[in-house]
Structure 1
Amino acid sequence: MAPPKNTTSSGPSPSTAAPVRNPTADALYAWCCSKYAYGYVFSQAELLGAGVIPNQDLQILLSSVEYLTKNALFRVHDRAGGGIGWELVDPETARDYSNLSRNEQIVLQVIDGAKTSGMWTKQIQSKTALHTNIVEKVFRVLEGRGLIKQMKSVTHPQRKMYILASLTPSEDATGGSWFSEGRLDIGLIETISTVIEHYVSTKSWQEIKPDDVEEGPGQKRKRPSSSFEEHGDDRAKLAKTGEGQNNKARTSKHQISSQKSYKPFGPGYKSYPTLEDITRHIINIKVTGSILPQNAVAQLLQVMVYDDRLFKLHRPPVGNELPDDHVNNTVTMYRCFKTPQDLMEQHQLYKRKVSDHDYVRKAAYRQEELEKLGVGGSSEVPCLRCPSFDICGDGGPVNVATCKYFDEWYDRLEEADREEEEKEKAKEKVKDRDKGSMDKGKAKGKEHVTVNGDRGPRVDIELELELEPS
């Protein structure tokens, strides 16, 4: 007898069969998405009260929840008041979990729970209770699929940490805009500080035009350009000649054009730059590839105030302007101590300090050291401030006989001696005047007496005594 024929139709194997849909579960998920935001944790009573489960059958609810959990659309979660709930997951996140193994889902869920703070690998292993080799293998799989990425923490730079690939680490973990890969970006801070200081300086000082510069009574007379040997009448004659006046005019115009002059604004000036102005300036000039947030700029401004590069002023808000200090209702302004000319000279000094020429670097460091010491004593000698000190010597291109700095120094000494002589003469005149007034006072004092502390004219009084009759 022949064997019976196989009447079963050849269909797809279980591994290749299409996933079975659950209409009730799909309807329940659609209702949850329409009523609540992703991340909300539902209780069993809320799901039964949705009106989707037929006759509020508990078995149908459990099968629907199991289906949604298996497809990562629901996530088992602990409720705040106790008990178990189900967290609503968005479809994009659910797709990340759909093709993962159980261990991979557990690890990804733990990392997802840390959000933007990230999680240490040892903490992940402790929470998942998986072997080290298994956890390391899961890390490689999740990184390969682009689901997680490594991150650096400022507080723990040696720790290996992971975060979801779609998230940006928080400022508490990365240190904010001034950190790069867990390290403080010194170059970025110096660049932005220089830009801020120059911008605030241009808004803190007003430039004096050449037409506004007048020779005041306190300005010292410049030495004639011919030589140092003219004294007395010769110097006066040279000053009166047209040649001397023309030389002086040309010198003053050249000095004014080569070096700008600045003066501060008057009291009550309220147009110094604010935090908003400085942030807008940094964004407009595009000094960095990324946009610096305003709170990061505020942190840097506070550091510059501590370093005495800027200082704060306060004014009331204008119009719709929001105050920085809500208690006192004031807006903070920033002013720079140095003028734009001072900052330019400082920048040039820095360039000389990093020059390729050894003698230029030495002269720059010597200048910086003398500026810190200040003026006075032996530091006024030209040799200590000479930029050509290293090549100065007998028979060289620069020597004592041909030095051009001594004339100016001698001129200042003569001017100082002359001023000192004038002060001594003024003191002598005051002494002579005081001495003459004292002599007159002594002469008058002989004609006066003091009675009960009161000084008055001397008066002779004759007393007549009346005798009583006997």
Structure 2
Amino acid sequence: MSRLQGPNSLKRKRPGSTSDSLTEHERTVHDVIQGKQDMGISQRDMKREINLPDNLVTKCLKSLLAKNLIKEVKNIQSRGRKHFISVEFEPSNEITGGAWYVEGSLDTEYINVLKEQCWRKIYGLKVATLEGVTDAIKRSNVSQIELSKQQVEEIVKALVLDNEVMEVKSSGTGEFASIPVGKVCYKCIGKRGYGGEPKFGAMASIPCGVCPQISHCTPDGIISPKTCVYYKKWLDF
């Protein structure tokens, strides 16, 4: 489903009551999952916590899914493992990757649309603050999800890496007259113009620029350039 042009649809579900029809084993499995709240738990980790045979845990999970008491979610940190969360919770950004991911995959189409829109706003304003770009994006209703200032900053930083936008500080004079001295601002590089082809810098299209997990990315960690399929694709390109 497209996340462009529409009201915010991400709403947290209210906690509901557990069905009285659960078996003892189903209740045990459900209690473990519910106790993990918005982080959920993988099936493998669950088997470590519950002293039940693997086939019984699997059977309980299928039953809880059928009764709509739990849901399976994509975990970007462990794509090969089944991950479950209680239905009254929405998975944390650490699990889903946040606004830039859909079902565990980086939503490059959505990111590119937002990059184009941010570039247009900066181009139209000549000199723009992050607050100005964020406000313009919100008023444009281009995104179904209401973007935070931090998320807009991630997009603008990606444009800087792409060498399409430069980061400058206000001098308080001339084109910066309405902006406090020293405040970080953004200007477009060159005259691409609306509908023109984008300029590509050395870091163009690298996924790291908009990855919400970049602060957790380490050479030998769970999140690593060695295991990142998007980074590998970028290198191959």
Instruction: Please name the residue that 1:274 is paired with.
Output: 129
Aligned-partner Cα distance in 1 for 2:184–2:57: 52
Asked whether the equivalents of residues 15 and 88 of structure 2 are also in contact (C-alpha less than 8 Å), the reply is no
Summarize deviations over 1:251-276 as a string: whole Å, max 9, x none.
xxxxxxxxxxxxxxxxxxxxx32222
Task: Report matched runs for 1:362-381 at 5 Å.
Answer: none
Structure with bigger helix share is: 1
Give 1:194's match in structure 2, choosing from 116, 135, 155: 116
CA contact (8 A) 1:151 1:161 kept: yes
The alignment partner of 2:52 has SS state of: coil
One-letter identity of the residue aligned with 1:311: M
Map 1:40-439; keep pairs closer than 5 Å.
95-96=17-18, 98-204=20-126, 272-315=127-170, 331-339=183-191, 342-344=192-194, 346-347=196-197
Whole-angstrom distance in 2 between the partners of 1:276 and 1:158: 39
Is the Cα contact below 8 Å between 2:16 and 2:88 reproduced in 1? no
* Contact 1:201–1:338, Cα closer than 8 Å, also in 2: no
Higher relative contact order (CA 8 A, sep 6+): 2
Question: Which amino acid is the alignment partner of residue 336 of structure 1?
Answer: C
The ranges of structure 1 where at least 4 consecutive aligned residues each deviate by more than 4 angstroms after the TM superposition are none
Offset at 1:316?
A: 9.0
Which of the two has higher C-alpha Rg? 1
Contact 1:311–1:336 (Cα < 8 Å) also in 2: yes
Q: Give secondary structure in 1 for the equivalent of 2:168.
A: strand
Question: 1:168-203 CA distances to partner (integer Å, 9 max, x unpaired)?
Answer: 111111111011111101111111111111110111
SS in 2 for 1:344: coil
Q: Answer whether contact 2:15 2:89 (CA < 8 A) is retained.
A: no
Cα pair 2:29 2:50 within 8 Å, conserved: yes
Q: CA RMSD in A?
A: 2.6
Q: Confirm or deny: 8 A CA contact 1:196 1:278 kept in the other structure.
A: yes
TM-aligned CA deviation for residue 145 of structure 1: 1.8
* Shift in CA distance, 343/165, structure 1 to aligned 2, threshold 3 Å: same
Gapped regions of structure 2 (runs ≥ 5): 1-13, 173-180, 199-237
Structure 1: which 5+ residue stretches go unaligned? 1-91, 205-271, 318-328, 349-470
Q: Is the 8 A contact 2:131 2:149 kept in 1?
A: yes
% identity of equivalent residues: 24
Contact in 2 for aligned 1:176/1:296 (Cα 8 Å): no
Q: Following TM superposition, by how much is the alpha carbon of 1:113 offset from its aligned partner in structure 2, in angstroms?
A: 2.1
**Cα 1:345/1:187, change in 2 over 3 Å:** closer
CA distance in 2: counterparts of 1:343 and 1:158, whole angstroms: 43
In the other structure, the counterpart of 1:8 is none
